[in-house]
Amino acid sequence: MSPDTKGEDWMLLKANQLKVFRKDRLLFDIEELAIYQDDRIGLVGTNGSGKTTLLHVLAGQETPDSGTVAATATCTLLPQLKQGDVRKSGGEMTQTYIERALSRPSALLLADEPTTHLDTEHIEWLEDKLRHYQGALIVVSHDRAFLDAICTEIWELDHGQLHHYKGNYTHFAQQKELAHRQQVEAYEAYTQKKKQLEHALEKKKKKADKATKLSQKVKSSGPKIAKPYYANKQKKLQKTAKSIETRMEKLEKVEKVKDIQPIQMSQHTMKETASRNILRVENVDGKAGDKVLWKQANVEVRGGDKVGIIGNNGSGKTTFLRMLVNGHPGVTRSEAVKLAYFRQDLSGLKADESILQNALKEAVQDETVVRTVLARLGFRGDDVHKPVEVLSGGERVKTMLASLLVSDVNVLMLDEPTNFLDLAAVEALEGLLKDYPGAVVFVSHDRRLIEEVATRIFHIHEERIEAFDGTYEAYKQKEEKPAVTNREEELLLINMQLSEVLSRLSIEPSQELEEAFQALLKQKKSLES
């Protein structure tokens, strides 16, 4: 429904003058928001911006410090932190929560990171469920493909303010990029105008100074007449200079845009592995207890490869990654390989040291490069001096990733690196991994990240590991083709059989051959329909 046709009858919830504080810090200050029937809203913002808190306030589970929330319909909250049977996996628990939430008769669903722990198959299952959901929806998610599939509007919490954008996440990103370019152009226009005024002011001031210095010729010819003339001239020049100064003061200041800094990371260890086979897996079986995960795996990784490992939950992705990291019979590694492993427990971070100290600890890059990497991930200025012990989960993930990216390694092994990251950090990590000159082998359910970063795919399914050279999108298209290819092969075989039967019928007609001919025609017609 378009904003023009939305009315009070369609409104499910309205909030006014919402303010929430965290100790002395204002978390957000929202003048007004409204949710209407059939709304599909994606709520985005950096870690700590207040997205989860806002959902809790709208759901009536948290009272704002000031302001009102009025709901005219039932509301269901799907929380980020889920509790349940410890014997169930994270994915199974998430599914249980989702199914329970969707079964409730509710006009408004507030879903906080609903795709966490879900594999690609179940994310697509959830997308289908939410597309057919009979009610309004607000989703907090860092999965861009998911937001694109579900949302028709994006709300961004930025520095305590709520901004509205029409369209899905891709449209939102395009609007932000346009705004960024416009700000860059505005700053360039501002600096150019300021320079022009400064130059004009300097010229007028110099002319005013000259106007007081009478030449010898003027002095001898009539100083009594000349002095008032030059005094008047100086006064006019000073008035013009003052006018220019006033224009400069009234010139609307435009802040310089913080551009993404390019990073050049090169160390000799990268060159030693470039385009060489650095990891080889030969005839390796994978098991989890008595369960067979895959049989006779034969794959290899080359220097500079960006390998995305995909598969359903429980297929053995993490098991395979750990085999590559820890070693296993049948797994060989080049002596030139220097490997780093990102795991979810974030072991390796020193809690009593700062972000910068942790990043510099194993760094072979100079401090400028390290700070640039940290800035790309959202740590700017004095933020780098925060001790790790006060950081959120997302900030700790970013610190660990930065430490690995600048260390003396040439192969990164990453297990779900985007968990707990906000969208800005996910996009920053995406750019850093694309720019990284070494090899990257990563497990992820983030389809957009896989598509943007991976140059090769390892798919664990049907008790095997299938290697594919190409992007995630190309692999998906390949997967869709076999049915067509099989049909074509069958048609080719039937046509050959028809030719053979026709040839025999022309030489030696019989009832049996005629029946075979008609049966083949029937098969052909069926395949062609």
Q: Both tokens of residue 446? A: 């983030």
Instruction: Name 414's bridge partners.
Output: 342, 442
Exposure letters 342-352 (e unless 16+ CB within 10 A, then b): bbeebeebeee
Tokens representing 515? 């029946």
Summarize the confidence of residues 476-495 as an average pLDDT: 71
Give the C-alpha separation, 308 to 327, whole Å: 19
Q: pLDDT band at residue 189, thresholds of 50, 70 and 90?
A: confident
What tokens does 188 get?
């360039």
Q: Which residues pair with 301 in a beta bridge?
A: 279
Domain assignment present for residue 178? The answer is no
Sign of CA dihedral 455, 422, 415, 337: positive
Domain holding 436: CATH number? 3.40.50.300
464 forms beta bridges with 461
**Residue 156 domain-assigned (yes or no):** yes
Q: Which of 407, 408, 457, 453 is nearest to 432 (CA)?
A: 453
Decide if pLDDT at 408 tops 60: yes
pLDDT band for position 249 (cuts 50, 70, 90): confident
Reported as a single tens digit per residue, the pLDDT across 417-452 is 998 888 989 999 999 999 898 999 999 999 999 999
Q: What is the 3-state secondary structure (H, E, C) of 44-60?
A: EECCCCCHHHHHHHHCC
Answer yes or no: do 58 and 151 share one domain: yes
Higher-confidence position of 393 and 312: 312
Q: Mean pLDDT, the chain, as a whole number? A: 86
Are 294 and 394 in a shared domain?
A: yes
DSSP 8-state assignment for residue 23: T
Confidence of residue 259 (pLDDT cuts 50, 70, 90): low
Clarify whether residues 313 and 289 are in a common domain.
Answer: yes
Q: What is the pLDDT of residues 43-73, one digit of tens each?
A: 999 888 999 999 999 999 999 999 999 999 9
Q: Is the pLDDT higher at 405 or at 91?
A: 405
**272 within some domain:** yes
Q: Residue 332 corresponds to which tokens in the numbers above?
A: 């060989």
**Residue 233 reports pLDDT greater than 60:** yes
413/515 same-domain check: no
In a domain, 181, yes or no: no
Does residue 453 have a pLDDT over 60? yes
Domain range for 495 is 482-528
Tell me: pLDDT of 485 over 70. Answer: no
Residues 66 and 87 in one domain: yes
DSSP state letters, 479-518? HHSHHHHHHHHHHHHHHHHHHHHHHHHHHS--HHHHHHHH
**Closest CA relative to residue 111, chosen from 88, 91, 94, 132:** 94
**Helix 367-376 with 423-435: angle, nearest 10 deg:** 140
Beta bridge partners of 19: 29, 66
Q: Are residues 494 and 455 in the same domain?
A: no
Give the pLDDT score at 268. Answer: 47
Q: Are residues 307 and 221 in the same domain?
A: no
Domain annotation covers residue 261: no
> For the chain, how are helix, strand and coil distributed in percent, rounded to 5?
45, 25, 30
User: What's the pLDDT tens digit per position in 103-131?
Assistant: 888 999 999 999 988 999 999 999 999 99
Do residues 462 and 328 both lie within one domain?
yes
Please tell me whether residue 403 adopts helix, strand or coil conformation: helix
Residues 379, 412: one domain? yes
**CA–CA dist 188, 306 (Å, integer):** 38
Domain count, the chain: 4
**Greater confidence, 448 or 210?**
448
Confidence of residue 211 (pLDDT cuts 50, 70, 90): low
pLDDT more than 90, % of the chain: 53
Asked if residue 459 lies in contact with residue 310, where contact means CB atoms within 8 angstroms, the answer is: yes
Mean pLDDT for 86-90 is 61
140 vs 87: which has the higher pLDDT: 140
pLDDT band at 392; cut points 50, 70, 90: confident
Sheet holding 456-461, edge to edge: 339-342, 411-415, 439-443, 306-310, 456-461, 464-469
- Residue 38 phi/psi, 5° resolution? 75, 5
Q: CA nearest 395: which of 378, 372, 417?
A: 378
Q: Provide the CA 469 distance to its chain's centre, in angstroms.
A: 23
Q: How far apart are CA 113 and CA 523, in angstroms?
A: 50
Indicate if the pLDDT at residue 222 is higher than 70: no
Same domain, yes or no, for 311 and 192? no
The domain boundary, picked from 167, 195, 226, lies at 167
Strand 40-45 to 136-140 pairing:
parallel
Residue at 406 is within a domain = yes
The mean-pLDDT minimum among 31-35, 89-93, 295-299, 521-525 falls in 89-93
On whether residue 175 sits in a domain, the answer given is no
Cβ-contact 468, 475 below 8 angstroms:
yes
Q: Which of 132, 167, 202 is the last residue of a domain?
A: 167
**Max Cα distance, the chain (Å):** 136
Strand order in the sheet with 25-36: 25-36, 11-22, 66-71
Cα–Cα distance, 282 to 300 (Å, whole number)? 9
Tens digit of each residue's pLDDT (9 = 90 or more) over 315-362: 999 999 999 999 999 999 999 999 999 987 777 899 999 999 999 998
* Residues 236 and 379 both lie in one domain: no
pLDDT reading at 270 higher than 70: no
285 and 431 housed in the same domain: yes
pLDDT value at residue 33: 97
Alpha-helical runs (H) found in 143-276? 144-150, 169-211, 216-221, 223-250, 268-273
Q: Tell me: pLDDT of 240 over 90.
A: no
Angstrom distance (rounded) from CA 367 to CA 400: 16
CA distance 329 to 522: 53
Describe the strand order of the beta sheet including 331-333 as a list of residue ranges: 291-302, 277-288, 331-333
30 closest CA partner among 44, 43, 42, 16: 16
Res 471 pLDDT > 50? yes
pTM above 0.85, yes or no: no
Q: Which two tokens mark 180?
A: 């960024």
Tokens of 394: 């997302």
In-domain check, residue 375 = yes
